[in-house]
């Protein structure tokens, strides 16, 4: 067996340290483990992209970062938050009121489908003022910041502040929401599928704005999506979720061009994009597991073309194989993956 794995993933200044975090729901059919002993470090100031199929646990991971798992879900493990100024905060040990203060002020979140969560009877300006007021911020200063944010997002501040949500297009609503999430100057912004309901051109435009704003404000951004290409050129590092746990973590570039996990490779080979020859695209065979009964050993073994008895018997730890330690995957045969599951995109380049 391997030595205990190093799950710092090369992160030197972690703003988040997540250890052994699990989320369970008790269901009639048994216990549903929708996040399974997750370890992760998030580097201060980075953009971490989190990708995975529908149901893989992306939203659970996002909610865990704010200790906001929906009832009756149970979150266990350790989540340490290290704000720029001050001491370490054990998130799961905070009282409800302490957590409420941390949310939005230090860790802001744009939830999946949040566009519809604007109150239809309030203008965007009302929403901004309420947010400032509830958190005890100076409203005039805050609105000034809000106006700046709106124009940085290519919105006409006065017009948008006076508008009701339905008077704005989807893309404008989404940018107004982004401005609102940054109103209290948080250190971390967690975004769960923030652009999924928008058309591609708007999604790409918003991604570029997020990148720019993140840089200007030294924000740490966790960007969650099922759409790998969307974060491919945005994220500094990528974490790939499969069956309720990370199976690969590393610098975005390395994960995309030299994926160490067979699942990541299957995901890349099945993603429609203009650069891969059509005849080489492949759907992923099989189905992702049910959280009530995940397969023994490596959870990917029923779908993995490389699986053998060892994979069925033992759950592989994170490891780097012969490569750099900041890039790791949960697979017994990391060094064989390149040959066994070739990446289509690379072949295009080698021509």
Partner 1 sequence: MSSDEHVVSLQDIEVHFETDTGIFGRDSDIVKAVDGVSLDIEENDVVALVGESGCGKTTLGKTAIGVQRPTEGQVEYRGQDIWEARDSSGSSSIPFKQIRQSLQIIHQDPGASLNPNKTVMHTLSVPLRATQPQMTTFDRRERIHEMLSRVGMEPPEAYSKRYPHQLSGGEKQRVALIRALLMNPDLILADEAVSALDVSLRIDMMDLMLELQDQFNTSYLFISHNLSNASYVAGEADGRIGIMYLGELVELGPVDEIVKNPKHPYTKALMWAAPSLDPNADADPSSPLRTIDVPDPRNPPSGCRFHTRCPEAREACKNDVPGELAVDGHTDHTVTCFREDDHHDYWHSPELDEVSTDEADTAASD
Ligand X SMILES: Nc1ncnc2c1ncn2[C@@H]1O[C@H](COP(=O)(O)OP(=O)(O)OP(=O)(O)O)[C@@H](O)[C@H]1O
The least distance separating ligand SF4 from the CB of residue 190, rounded to whole angstroms, comes to 28
Residue 55 binds ligand X (CB under 6 A): yes
| Positions 275 through 294 that interact with ligand X (CB under 6 A) | 291
Give whichever of 128 and 300 is closer to ligand SF4, judged by the CB atom.
Answer: 300
Contact status, residue 311 vs residue 261, Cβ threshold 8 Å: no
Q: Pattern of binders to partner 1 over 137-176, x per CB under 8 A?
A: --------------xx-x-x--x---x--xxxxxxx----
Q: How many residues bind ligand X (CB under 6 A)?
A: 15
The least distance separating ligand X from the CB of residue 232, rounded to whole angstroms, comes to 17
Residue 171 binds ligand X (CB under 6 A): no
Instruction: Starting at the earlier edge strand, list the strands of the sheet with 220-225.
Output: 107-110, 188-192, 220-225, 47-51, 237-242, 245-251, 328-330, 318-319
Query: Quick one: which segment of 49-57, 251-259, 264-272, 321-329 binds ligand X (CB under 6 A)?
Result: 49-57
Give whichever of 173 and 307 is closer to ligand SF4, judged by the CB atom.
Answer: 307
Binder among 7, 34, 47, 64 for ligand X (CB under 6 A): 34
Q: Which residues pair with 76 in a beta bridge?
A: 22
Here the tokens at position 183 are 């109103």
Residue 292 binds partner 1 (CB under 8 A): no
Which of ligand X, partner 1, ligand SF4, none sits in contact with 70, Cβ below 5 to 8 A by type? ligand X
The footprint of ligand SF4 (CB under 6 A) covers 262, 298, 300-301, 304, 306-307, 311, 316, 331-333
| Positions 205 through 244 that interact with partner 1 (CB under 8 A) | 205, 208, 211-212, 226-230, 232-233
Alpha-carbon torsion (259, 64, 289, 37), positive or negative: positive
Residue 253 binds partner 1 (CB under 8 A): yes
The single residue listed with the structure tokens 């960007």 is 223
- Taking the C-alpha atoms of residue 92 and residue 80, their distance in angstroms, rounded to an integer, is 8
Burial, 187: exposed, middle or buried (Cβ in 10 Å; 0-12, 13-18, 19+)?
Answer: buried
Task: Summarize as ranges the residues that interact with ligand X (CB under 6 A).
Answer: 25, 32, 34, 52, 54-60, 70, 112, 226, 291
Residues that bind partner 1 (CB under 8 A): 53-54, 151-152, 154, 156, 159, 163, 166-172, 198-205, 208, 211-212, 226-230, 232-233, 252-253, 256-257, 266-268, 270-276, 278, 281-284, 345, 349
């Amino acid at each position: 067996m391997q030595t205990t794995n190093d799950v710092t993933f090369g992160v030197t200044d972690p703003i988040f340290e997540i250890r052994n975090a699990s989320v369970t729901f008790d269901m009639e059919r048994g216990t549903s483990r929708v996040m399974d002993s997750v370890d992760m470090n998030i580097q201060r100031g980075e953009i971490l992209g989190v990708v995975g199929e529908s149901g893989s646990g992306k939203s659970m991971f996002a909610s865990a970062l704010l200790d906001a798992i929906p009832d009756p879900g149970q979150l266990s493990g350790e989540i340490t938050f290290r704000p720029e100024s001050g001491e370490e905060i054990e998130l799961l040990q905070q009282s409800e009121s302490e957590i409420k203060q941390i949310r939005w002020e230090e860790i802001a979140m744009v939830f999946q489908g949040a566009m519809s969560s604007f109150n239809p009877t309030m203008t965007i300006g009302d929403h901004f003022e309420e947010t400032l007021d509830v958190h005890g911020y100076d409203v005039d200063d805050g609105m000034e910041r809000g106006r700046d944010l709106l124009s940085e997002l290519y919105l006409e501040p006065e017009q948008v502040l006076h508008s009701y949500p339905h008077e704005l297009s989807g893309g404008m609503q989404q940018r107004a929401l982004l401005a609102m999430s940054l109103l209290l100057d948080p250190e971390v912004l967690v975004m769960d599928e923030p652009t999924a309901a928008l058309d591609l051109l708007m999604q790409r435009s918003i991604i570029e704005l997020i990148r720019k704003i993140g840089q200007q404000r030294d924000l740490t951004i966790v960007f969650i999506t099922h759409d790998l290409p969307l974060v491919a050129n945005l994220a500094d590092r990528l974490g790939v979720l499969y069956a309720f746990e990370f199976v690969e973590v590393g610098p975005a570039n390395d994960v995309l061009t030299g994926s160490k996990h067979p699942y990541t490779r299957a995901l890349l080979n099945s993603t429609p994009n203009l650069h891969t020859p059509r005849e080489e695209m492949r759907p992923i065979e099989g189905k992702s597991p049910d959280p009530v009964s995940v397969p023994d050993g490596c959870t990917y073994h029923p779908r993995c073309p490389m699986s053998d008895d060892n994979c069925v018997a033992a759950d592989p730890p994170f490891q780097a194989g012969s490569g750099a330690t900041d890039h790791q995957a949960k697979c017994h045969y990391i060094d064989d993956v390149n040959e066994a599951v070739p990446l289509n995109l690379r072949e295009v380049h080698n021509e």
